[in-house]
Amino acid sequence: MKIVVCLKQVPDTETKIKLGADGQSIDTNGIKWVVNPYDEYAVEEAVKTRDAHPGSQVHVLCVGPKKRTADAVRTALAMGADEGILIDAPENLDPATTAQALAKAIQAEGGAQLIFAGKLAIDDNASSVPQMVAELLSIPHTTVVSKLAVTPESVTAERDVEGGAKEVAQLALPAVIAANKGLNMPRYASLPGIMKAKKKVLKELDLAGLGVNTVALTKTLSLELPADKPPVKMLTGDSGAQAAQLVQLLRDEAKVL
């Protein structure tokens, strides 16, 4: 079984984000980049599936500037993936073009029986690339998957739906599975794995070579940081006085009463 994982590199959640001078992007100077957390679940599930099906291989694809995305691919290799492929692309590629690049790369590499991805990337929260990849490849897909059973012919996926309910879907292979938190517990990259990953030769592709149209189908018009939170107000006095102050603040300042 050939297994592919679609990976994205995103800013660390603890990174302080600054807007670029154009007001349409973020300033990437000084940003610490990490593997998208939901994609870590995808890598772990891919490695587990490979281990359960002898003879299988895990290939990792990552779209973005190859100088920095190479680190994300090597992290996946250190977690147990077999091969890494970089698709060199500009910063801030829109989801539709990203999906085209991934789909064409998968086709160029001879296809795959199972394609994993995270349910969304934590930087843009678009939650759309896995579905578009499946559409471009004309194969079934399901997302927010929290439990998975794989056979050589199909997968049975349990997915989270609103209200805490679960939905079970069976998909014929090939298929795209978008992982949710709870699907597994991603392993830490071992020191031997890290050393081996550093020596791995990564295959490099580019958008032109894949025949991907680089004209963005979506464009960011503007970005703005959320307003600073107002300072906390501490209520004083006994419980009766505090209740009176709270009602006054809710009525006069918050305007919710």
Q: Across residues 112-121, what is the average pLDDT?
A: 96
Whether this prediction's pTM lies above 0.75 is answered by yes
Give the pLDDT confidence score for residue 97 in this predicted structure.
93
Give the pLDDT band (50/70/90) at residue 73: very high
Residue extents of the structural domains in the chain: 2-210, 227-257
Q: Across residues 211-234, what is the average pLDDT?
A: 84
Whether a cis peptide bond, with omega within 30° of 0, leads into 174 is yes
One-letter amino acid for residue 91 of the chain: E
Q: Say if CB 198 and CB 75 are below 8 A apart.
A: no
Q: Say if CB 198 and CB 77 are below 8 A apart.
A: no
Give the pLDDT band (50/70/90) at residue 139: very high
Task: Check residues 43 and 192 and name the one with the higher pLDDT.
Answer: 43
Give the pLDDT band (50/70/90) at residue 111: very high
Tell whether the model's pLDDT for residue 162 goes beyond 90: no
Tell whether the model's pLDDT for residue 216 goes beyond 80: no
Beta strands 141-150; 154-160: pairing state? antiparallel
Give the pLDDT band (50/70/90) at residue 163: confident
Give the pLDDT confidence score for residue 49 in this predicted structure.
96
The CA distance from 195 to 189, in Å, is 10
Q: To the nearest 10°, report the CA torsion of 41, 46, 47, 53.
A: 150
One-letter amino acid for residue 155 of the chain: V
CATH superfamily of 2-210: HUPs (3.40.50.620)
Q: Tens digits of per-residue pLDDT, 4-24?
A: 999 999 999 888 888 888 888
User: 81-90, 210-219, 248-257 — which one is most confidently predicted on average?
Assistant: 81-90
